[in-house]
């Protein structure tokens, strides 16, 4: 494959369809691009707001603030999609789980969920009643963007949410939830099933309020053997994807798991339209495993701490290896807060300048 390069001006005509087309494996003029954590701490405009509103829950739950934060990177870099600013854990509060999100430490649960009584007490999610601000954020974003680019919804998958519930905080080894998996599998499956039902409803609520694509994060499922992934992860991912597809077959679903190089074949069986790929596996090799299934990711976010030449070389290398169809350019994991804004600009401009030769 050879790439041709248009000047950023010519190539910057924004199509609302580029991201959705690529996610559905339809031809596009160039790879669409967005970034995991594209709204956040690396942006000075975000840090200014953070100073004024120090509570993460305020920033993500007050609609005006969350909309403003979601749009900051769009105004700065014109990505091909806008993901709404929120957290994987936001719906847990609405299920009756009492937690705090502490800067630099992540989630701290008042009481880890480990007993039958606690699992039974997890309330089914009713987003209209308990998360109305999410609907408002999404509707406002759609209104602001006027279909220039699609709005992306996202949810945490049951295994990953359960790691927080059971471990009570961020974990290194996931030893408590794995012990539950071995010793009380029925209890854990009950928890996962409850989460799956609520998260499916949450994903549908996001689509009903304007999300045009759903990103599922099962961040910590990559710490499992293939056997455990098939037992405790896959059926619940599948349940959410099936629920979305049953009602909105046209809405693409993307699936992201960290440290997933060896799990790509199983990720594909989830029914997700787009498979997120980390950077430990070359994109060309992921392509061999996944065939023509749309792919996303693959750039080490630390590359954006490097020189402009490095950023251009590595970005174009991923694009070359991914081929000319079914590829969404993205970082393999969330962009780091220490990333300079000019490097992010270099990344976006590089992708915008790479037009496929196969499509005019």
Q: If binding is defined by CB under 8 A, does position 263 make contact with its own copies?
A: yes
Name the minimum Å distance from CB 299 to its own copies: 9
In a 3-state reduction of DSSP, which class is residue 105? coil
End-to-end CA distance of the chain: 15
In a 3-state reduction of DSSP, which class is residue 11? helix
Q: Report residue 85 as tokens.
A: 């600013």
DSSP secondary structure string for all residues of 9-74: HHHT---TTHHHHHHTT---SS--B--TT-SSTTSHHHHHHHHH---HHHHHHSHHHHHHHHHHHH
Q: If binding is defined by CB under 8 A, does position 178 make contact with its own copies?
A: yes
Nearest Cα residue to 250 out of 276, 211, 217, 277: 211
Q: If binding is defined by CB under 8 A, does position 173 make contact with its own copies?
A: yes
Nearer Cβ to its own copies, position 227 or 360?
Answer: 227
- Of 209, 301, 348, 351, the residue at the interface with its own copies (CB under 8 A) is 301
Q: Report residue 249 as tokens.
A: 């077959």
Q: Report residue 337 as tokens.
A: 């807060």
- Of 96, 235, 271, 282, the residue at the interface with its own copies (CB under 8 A) is 282
Q: If binding is defined by CB under 8 A, does position 300 make contact with its own copies?
A: yes
Q: If binding is defined by CB under 8 A, does position 106 make contact with its own copies?
A: no
| Site of tokens 């309020």 | 209
Q: If binding is defined by CB under 8 A, does position 302 make contact with its own copies?
A: yes
Nearer Cβ to its own copies, position 191 or 303?
Answer: 303
- Of 7, 183, 291, 360, the residue at the interface with its own copies (CB under 8 A) is 183
Nearer Cβ to its own copies, position 214 or 281?
Answer: 281
Q: If binding is defined by CB under 8 A, does position 259 make contact with its own copies?
A: yes
The CA distance from 117 to 25, in Å, is 45
Footprint on this chain of its own copies (rule: CB under 8 A): 173-175, 178-179, 182-183, 222-228, 259, 261-263, 279-282, 285, 300-303, 305-307, 310, 336, 338
């Amino acid at each position: 494959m050879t790439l041709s390069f248009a000047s950023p001006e010519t190539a910057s005509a924004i199509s609302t369809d580029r991201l959705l087309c690529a996610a559905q494996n339809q031809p596009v003029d160039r790879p669409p691009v967005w970034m995991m954590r594209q709204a956040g701490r690396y942006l000075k405009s975000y840090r200014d707001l953070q100073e004024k509103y120090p509570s993460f829950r305020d920033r993500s739950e007050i609609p005006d603030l969350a909309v403003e934060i979601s749009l900051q990177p769009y105004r700065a870099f014109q990505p091909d999609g806008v993901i709404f600013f929120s957290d994987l854990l936001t719906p847990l509060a609405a299920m009756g789980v009492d937690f705090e999100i502490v800067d630099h430490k992540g989630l701290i649960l008042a009481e880890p969920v480990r007993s039958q009584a606690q699992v039974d007490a997890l309330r089914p999610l009713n987003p209209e009643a308990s998360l109305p601000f999410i609907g408002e954020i999404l509707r406002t974003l759609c209104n602001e963007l006027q279909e220039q680019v699609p709005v992306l919804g996202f949810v945490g998958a049951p295994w990953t949410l359960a790691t927080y519930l059971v471990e009570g905080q961020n974990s290194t080894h996931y030893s408590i939830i794995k012990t539950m998996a071995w010793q009380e599998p029925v209890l854990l499956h009950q928890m996962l099933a409850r989460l799956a039902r609520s998260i499916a409803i949450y994903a549908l609520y996001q689509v009903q309020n304007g999300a045009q694509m759903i990103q599922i994060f099962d961040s910590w499922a990559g710490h499992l053997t293939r056997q455990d992934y098939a037992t405790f992860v896959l059926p619940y991912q599948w349940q959410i994807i099936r629920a979305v597809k049953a009602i909105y077959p046209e809405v693409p679903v993307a699936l992201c798991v960290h440290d997933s190089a060896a799990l790509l074949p199983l990720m594909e069986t989830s029914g997700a339209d787009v498979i997120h790929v980390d950077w430990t596996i070359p994109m060309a090799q992921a392509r061999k495993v996944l065939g023509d299934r749309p792919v996303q990711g693959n750039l080490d976010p630390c590359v954006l701490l490097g020189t402009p030449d490095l950023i251009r070389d590595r970005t174009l290398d991923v694009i070359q290896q991914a081929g000319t169809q079914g590829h969404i350019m993205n970082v393999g994991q969330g962009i780091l807060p220490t990333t300079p804004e000019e490097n992010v600009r270099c990344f976006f401009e590089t992708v915008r300048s790479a037009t496929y030769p196969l499509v005019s």
